[in-house]
């Protein structure tokens, strides 16, 4: 069985996890926690004096990023977060994550129009930018606000942590159809993504990491994948060989 998944296999893994009792909400909660743990490690001795910018796209990847913002704010970091997704559905998982992030002390703003104003506010002076704009289900070139956010990240960010994959990178092939975040670190959740380890992606992913988010072992088998060995549950450096 393969220890590296395409976008379709990653989706099968999520579905298998849900059938076995671990919901998307539960996976998101751990994805945000693990992303925050790695962000804290990257910040190192800068510690709680550091400002972190979190850019949360419209989908599940954005909800993961808002979960990351929640934990970092609760741990004492100064967090500026921009939500590109819909916040009016109060019972939706995205709005719930946004509400929790704000309740933990994150300075959260909707992207608004034009989105560049809020994004520049978040990035300016930040020691680390967390990229949660696009996830493994994204296809084609980033558009409108997302494309503008990617441009500003690449122009102005000091250091970038991408959640699951750099936004704009194809999760299966590693190719780019348009703008793409150039990350310094990429945290692949649950399973390594074939797009992140493809030769075409080397200049965009930075250092590769992997983290457990609570997917049952049997779910990997259902999806035809080999469970990763992640000792102690810590985010771990990923080496393709």
Counting the structural domains of the chain, the total is 1
Rounded to whole angstroms, what are the CA distances from 66 to 5, 56, 93, 159, 178? 25, 6, 10, 18, 25
Is residue 232 over pLDDT 90?
no
Q: What is the pLDDT of residues 77-91, one digit of tens each?
A: 999 999 998 888 877
* CATH code for the domain of 165: 3.40.50.10260
230 lies in some domain: no
Q: Look at residue 47 in the predicted model and tell me its pLDDT.
A: 61
- Output the DSSP codes for 30-43: HHHHHHHHHHHHHH
Q: Is 131 helix (H, G, I), strand (E, B) or coil?
A: strand
Domain with 176, as residue range(s), is 24-214
Q: Is-contact 212 34, C-beta < 8 A?
A: yes
221 lies in some domain: no
Q: What is the pLDDT of residues 90-133, one digit of tens each?
A: 778 899 999 999 999 999 999 987 888 999 999 999 999 999 99
- pTM value? 0.96
14 lies in some domain: no
């Amino acid at each position: 069985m393969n220890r590296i998944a395409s976008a379709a296999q990653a989706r099968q893994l999520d579905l298998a996890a849900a059938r076995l009792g671990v919901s998307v909400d539960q996976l998101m909660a751990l994805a945000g926690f693990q992303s925050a743990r790695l962000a804290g490690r990257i910040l190192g001795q800068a510690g709680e004096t550091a400002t972190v910018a979190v850019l949360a796209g419209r989908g599940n990847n954005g909800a993961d990023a808002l979960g990351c913002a929640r934990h970092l704010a609760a741990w004492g970091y100064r967090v500026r977060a921009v939500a590109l997704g819909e916040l009016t559905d109060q019972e939706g998982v995205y709005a719930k994550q946004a509400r929790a992030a704000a309740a933990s002390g994150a300075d959260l703003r909707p992207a608004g129009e034009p989105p560049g104003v809020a994004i520049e506010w978040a990035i300016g002076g930040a020691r680390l930018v967390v990229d949660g704009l696009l996830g493994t289900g994204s296809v084609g070139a980033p558009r409108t606000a997302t494309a503008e956010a990617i441009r500003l990240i690449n122009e102005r960010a000091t250091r970038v942590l991408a959640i699951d994959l750099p936004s704009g990178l194809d999760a299966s092939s590693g190719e780019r159809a348009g703008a793409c975040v150039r990350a310094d670190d990429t945290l692949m959740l649950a399973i390594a993504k074939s797009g992140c380890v493809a030769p075409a992606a080397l200049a965009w992913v930075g250092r590769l990491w992997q983290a457990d988010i609570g997917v049952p072992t049997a779910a990997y088998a259902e999806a035809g994948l080999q469970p990763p060995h992640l000792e102690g549950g810590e985010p771990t450096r990923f080496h393709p060989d």
